[in-house]
Amino acid sequence: MKVVAFNGSPRKDGNTSILIHHVFSELEKQGIETDLVQLSAKEIHGCIACYRCSQNPDRHCAVKSDAANEYIDKMLGADGIILGSPVYFQDVTPEMKALIDRTGYVARSNGRMFKDKVGASLVALRRSGGISTLDTMNHFFLSGQMIIVGRGIAFGREIGEVEKDDEGIGLVKLLGQKMAWLLKKIYG
Ligand SMILES: Cc1cc2nc3c(=O)[nH]c(=O)nc-3n(C[C@H](O)[C@H](O)[C@H](O)COP(=O)(O)O)c2cc1C
C-alpha cells in the first residue's frame, strides 16, 4: 500500500512538510509506503480550459510542458492521497490550486479515475483561514468520489513553530493512524 503527499508550500521543509512527516511516520509504522512531492520543486500551472482531456480521455493532461502528468501518475499509483497547504490569504497556495485543477479535471474526464482512494488534507497556518483552506482541498476528494478519512491543522508561522502546537500535532498523528487503519480495511 502506498500514500503520496503533495506539499503546496513554496517552503520545501516548512511547517506543512513537518505535518506531512508526522502522518508519514504513523503510516510507515504500519508498513505503508510513502512518497512526498514538493510542489516547489517543479513548475505547475493552472488549467487553460482547453477541454482536450474531455475530448481525448487518455488519463493525462494535453499540456505536457510542466509536472502535471507526473503528479497524475503518482496519484494513479497510490492508494491514498494527502494534500497539504499553508494558508495563504485564507486559502490554499496557487501551486496547490493548480494541482487540484489540473489533476482533478483530468480525473473527472476519465470516469473519476481516483475514485475510492483514501484522501486526507493538512493545513499549517499562523492565525486564520484553516477551514476554508481545508474546504478547498476536500472538494478535490469529494468531487473525485474519493473517501475522506480526516484532516489536520496546526498553528505556526516560522519554520518549526507547528511543533509547539501540541494539540494540533497530536491530531495530525491520529490522522495518520486513522488513515493506516482505513487503508488496511479497504486494501489490506
Ligand atoms: C503570502 C502569505 C499569506 C499568508 N496568509 C495567511 C493567512 O491568511 N492566514 C494565516 O493564518 N496565515 C497566513 N500566512 C502564514 C502561513 O500560513 C504560515 O506561516 C504557515 O505556517 C506556513 O507554512 P509553510 O512553512 O509550510 O510554508 C501567510 C503567509 C504568506 C507567505
**Which one, of 7, 33, 34, lies nearest residue 159 by Cα?**
7
pLDDT grade, residue 178 (50/70/90)? Answer: very high
pLDDT grade, residue 164 (50/70/90)? Answer: very high
pLDDT in tens, 132-149: 999 999 999 999 999 999
Q: What is the structure's pLDDT at 159?
A: 98
- In a 10 Å sphere around its CB, with 0-12 CB exposed, 13-18 middle and 19+ buried, how is residue 118 labelled? buried
Residue of 40, 87, 90, 122 with the most ligand 1 atoms within 8 Å of its CB, for mutation: 87
Give the closest residue (by CA) to ligand 1 atom 29: 88
Q: Are 122 and 162 in contact (CB under 8 A)?
A: no
Q: With left for phi above 0 and alpha for psi between -120 and 50, is residue 59 left, alpha or beta? A: left
Quote the ligand 1 centre to 38 CA distance (angstroms). 17
Q: What is the structure's pLDDT at 188?
A: 87
Give the residue-averaged pLDDT of 11-27: 98
Q: Could you tell me what percent of the chain has a pLDDT over 90?
A: 99
pLDDT in tens, 87-100: 999 999 999 999 99
| Structural domains in the chain, sorted by start | 2-41+76-101+113-187 (3.40.50.360)
Give the closest residue (by CA) to ligand 1 atom 7: 89
Q: What is the structure's pLDDT at 177?
A: 98
For residues 139 and 188, give the distance between their C-alpha atoms in angstroms, rounded to a whole number.
Answer: 26
Instruction: Give the bridge partners for 50, in sequence order.
Output: none
pLDDT in tens, 40-61: 999 999 999 999 999 999 999 9
Q: What is the mean pLDDT of the chain?
A: 98
Closest ligand 1 atom to residue 10 Cα is 27
Q: What is the structure's pLDDT at 5?
A: 99
Cα–Cα distances (Å) from 15 to 43, 133, 153, 184, 185, in that order, read: 21, 15, 11, 28, 30
**Which residues are within 8 A (CB) of 85 and not within 5 positions of it... i.e. 6 or more apart?**
7, 8, 9, 16, 92, 93, 96, 121, 122, 123, 124, 133, 137
